């Protein structure tokens, strides 16, 4: 069984999609209101704002097969974590992220000089994780999804 | 939080279900039970352990129904189970990965159990 490989981590591509949709910004030089989007980690240093988004790569599933190439297409596991100082802020950003990922449809996207064909981003679950245990009592939400895409060129 | 996988997505299993009789319900229940125990064991291998409470809280529950509607639930029953599952630095997704990384083996257990 041949599975098509992609050169970029899917989490990076999802982050770029969220940045393009003005959901957040790249982490360098961010202030607390601007929602930096990290990939593969949710940092907790004093210099990092409370309001952050993190996109993680997770285990995916291999389900679909390309009729043209005979290759199997992996649906990449994606997790998006949202952290904020209070519940209403976290919830409103959670809804904004859901709206942004729901707009992903059959379309081309260029990322790092590679053209990808995006198929869809299928949500598998989205829910509140409640408060963090420490004194800051920040709120967290989690969104899990399967992301289908292939390399065009 | 619920992860769902339907065997109706699987062509080989679907072919088996075409010749439905009541004994198939019984065999499906037994096969599901075996598959559930397998996923539970795999999840217990992946779960982060501090006191062992989370690891020991794993349960499987088989709900037998007629007309091939049986289901098996695998759960971890401490209040921080979901939090660890979603946010732990190295041990997150212990249940989801146990299922996703073993879909082939789960399928084999189901087909063998129903044959």
Cβ-based contacts under 8 A for chains A and B: 35
Evaluate whether residue B61 is within a structural domain: yes
Evaluate whether residue A4 is within a structural domain: no
Of B87, B97, B101, the CB nearest to A81: B87
Whole-number average pLDDT of chain B: 87
Query: From CA A56, how far away is CA A13, in angstroms rounded?
Result: 11
Residues of A with CB under 8 A from a CB of B: 42, 58-61, 63, 77, 79, 81, 124-125, 127, 129-130, 140, 142, 144
Give A67-111 pLDDT, tens digit per residue: 877 778 889 999 999 999 999 999 999 999 999 999 998 999 999
Interface test with B, best of A53, A58, A72, A132 (most B CBs within 10 A): A58
How close, in Å, is residue B23 to chain A by CA atoms?
30
| CB spacing of A58 vs B83 below 8 angstroms | no
Give A121-134 pLDDT, tens digit per residue: 999 999 999 998 88
Evaluate whether residue B24 is within a structural domain: yes
Evaluate whether residue B33 is within a structural domain: yes
Evaluate whether residue A99 is within a structural domain: yes
pLDDT reported for residue A5: 83
Query: For chain B, how many structural domains are there in total?
Result: 1
Cβ of residue B87 closer than 8 Å to a chain A Cβ: yes
| CB spacing of A58 vs B93 below 8 angstroms | yes
| CB spacing of B100 vs A42 below 8 angstroms | no
CA distances from A82 to A94, A140, B32, B73, B108 (A): 7, 5, 35, 28, 38
Judging contacts by C-beta atoms under 8 Å, the chain A residues touching residue B3 are 124-125
Comparison of pLDDT for A13 and A71, the residue scoring more: A13
Judging contacts by C-beta atoms under 8 Å, the chain B residues touching residue A144 are 96
Please check whether residue B76 is in contact with residue B52, taking contact to mean a CB–CB distance below 8 angstroms.
no
Tokens 């420490």, residue located: A134
> What's the CATH code of the domain at A82?
3.30.2000.10
CA distances from B29 to A17, A133, B9, B16 (A): 43, 40, 18, 14
pLDDT reported for residue A65: 75
pLDDT reported for residue A134: 84
Evaluate whether residue B2 is within a structural domain: no
Of A61, A79, A125, the CB nearest to B1: A125
Evaluate whether residue A2 is within a structural domain: no
| pLDDT exceeds 90 at position B23 | no
Interface test with A, best of B78, B86, B89, B98 (most A CBs within 10 A): B86
pLDDT reported for residue B1: 55
Least Cα distance to B65 among B111, B18, B32, B19 occurs for B32
Query: From CA B11, how far away is CA A28, in angstroms rounded?
Result: 49
Evaluate whether residue A1 is within a structural domain: no
- According to DSSP, the residues that pair with B72 across neighbouring strands are B62
Query: From CA B63, how far away is CA B1, in angstroms rounded?
Result: 18
Evaluate whether residue B56 is within a structural domain: yes
Query: From CA B97, how far away is CA B108, in angstroms rounded?
Result: 18
Evaluate whether residue A3 is within a structural domain: no
Evaluate whether residue B97 is within a structural domain: yes
**Is B75 exposed, middle or buried (CB count within 10 Å of its CB: 0-12, 13-18, 19+)?**
middle
Evaluate whether residue A114 is within a structural domain: yes
How close, in Å, is residue B103 to chain A by CA atoms?
9
- Torsion sign across C-alpha atoms B2, B8, B11, B14: positive
Indicate the pTM of the whole model.
0.87
Please check whether residue A143 is in contact with residue A97, taking contact to mean a CB–CB distance below 8 angstroms.
yes
Q: Which domain holds residue A20?
A: 10-151
Interface test with B, best of A59, A78, A82, A139 (most B CBs within 10 A): A59
Above pLDDT 90, what percent of chain A? 66
Query: From CA A67, how far away is CA A116, in angstroms rounded?
Result: 18
Cβ of residue B100 closer than 8 Å to a chain A Cβ: yes
Query: For chain A, how many structural domains are there in total?
Result: 1
Q: Which domain holds residue B60?
A: 7-114
DSSP string, chain B: ------GGG-HHHHHHHTS--HHHHHHHHHHHHHHHHHHHHHHHHHS--SSSHHHHTEEEEEE--STT--EEEEEE-STTHHHHHHH-TTTTTHHHHHHHTTHHHHHHHHHHHH-
């Amino acid at each position: 069984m041949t599975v098509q490989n992609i050169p970029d981590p899917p989490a990076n591509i999802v982050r770029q999609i969220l940045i393009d949709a003005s959901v957040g910004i790249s982490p360098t030089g961010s202030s607390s209101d601007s929602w930096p989007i990290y990939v593969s980690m949710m940092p907790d240093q004093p210099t990092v704002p409370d309001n952050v988004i993190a996109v993680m790569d997770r285990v995916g599933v291999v389900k679909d097969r390309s009729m043209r190439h005979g290759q199997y297409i992996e649906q990449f596991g994606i997790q998006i974590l949202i952290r904020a100082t209070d519940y209403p802020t976290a919830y409103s950003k959670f809804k904004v992220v859901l709206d942004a990922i729901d707009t992903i449809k059959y379309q081309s996207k260029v990322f790092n000089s590679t053209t990808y064909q995006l198929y869809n981003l299928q949500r598998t679950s989205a829910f509140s994780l409640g408060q963090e245990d420490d004194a800051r009592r920040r709120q967290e939400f989690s969104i899990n999804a399967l992301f289908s895409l292939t390399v065009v060129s | 939080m619920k992860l769902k996988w339907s065997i109706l997505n699987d062509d080989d299993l679907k072919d088996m279900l075409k010749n439905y009789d009541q004994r198939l319900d019984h065999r499906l229940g037994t096969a599901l039970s075996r598959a559930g125990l397998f996923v539970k064991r795999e999840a217990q291998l992946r779960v982060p352990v501090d006191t062992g409470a989370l690891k020991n809280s794993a349960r499987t529950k088989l709900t037998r129904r007629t007309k091939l509607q049986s289901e098996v639930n695998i759960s971890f029953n401490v209040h921080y189970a979901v939090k660890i599952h979603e946010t732990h630095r190295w041990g997150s997704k212990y249940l989801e990965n146990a299922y996703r990384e073993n879909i082939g083996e789960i399928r084999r257990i189901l087909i063998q159990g129903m044959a």
